[in-house]
Amino acid sequence: MAERLSPGDPAPDFTLQDADGKPVSLADHRGRKVIVYFYPAAMTPGCTKQACDFTDNLDQLAAAGYDVLGISPDSPEKLAKFRTKESLRVTLLSDPDRATLTAYGAYGEKMNYGKKTMGVIRSTFVVDESGTIAHAFYNVRATGHVAKLLRDLDV
């Protein structure tokens, strides 16, 4: 089981392909605050709701100095379809080997309908301008999470 991250921990760096197959690194965002969120699968109801909520609030978050990166094990091709189908504006990144998910403690054992399974733990991290974890939220709900995050961040 991967260690969970806590505020004050350095955010594990990563370079992953976006929906267009271009590399995106966490380091590219130094000097801005970054919301990194992990979700199980593109085109599923909860993940779609969450991505749409982030897209709907993207201008407000950007104005407050936040970039948003969504990470799942999906292929860049699937992410591109997801982005087009739902008119998403958040940057979606592909982590097919789950190395970044694991580094953030967002992949591991979880309860799914009363059964223990291995999978993506829906999680959100706020990384500050210097690359340090400011907030770590595990097992978040897809619905209402973005609204709660805006309240927690005073955005």
Q: Catalytic: 52?
A: no
Cα–Cα distance for residue pair 34/149, rounded to 1 Å = 13
Collect all residues with Cβ–Cβ distance below 8 Å to 53 and sequence separation of at least 6. 145, 146, 147
The closest alpha carbon to 88, from 119, 47, 27, 121, belongs to 47
Q: Where are the alpha helices (DSSP H) in 57-139?
A: 58-63, 76-86, 99-103
The two tokens of residue 64 are 């407050």
Of these residues, 11, 24, 35, 47, which one is catalytic?
47
Helix then strand then coil, % of the chain, to nearest 5: 30, 30, 40
Residues labelled catalytic: 47
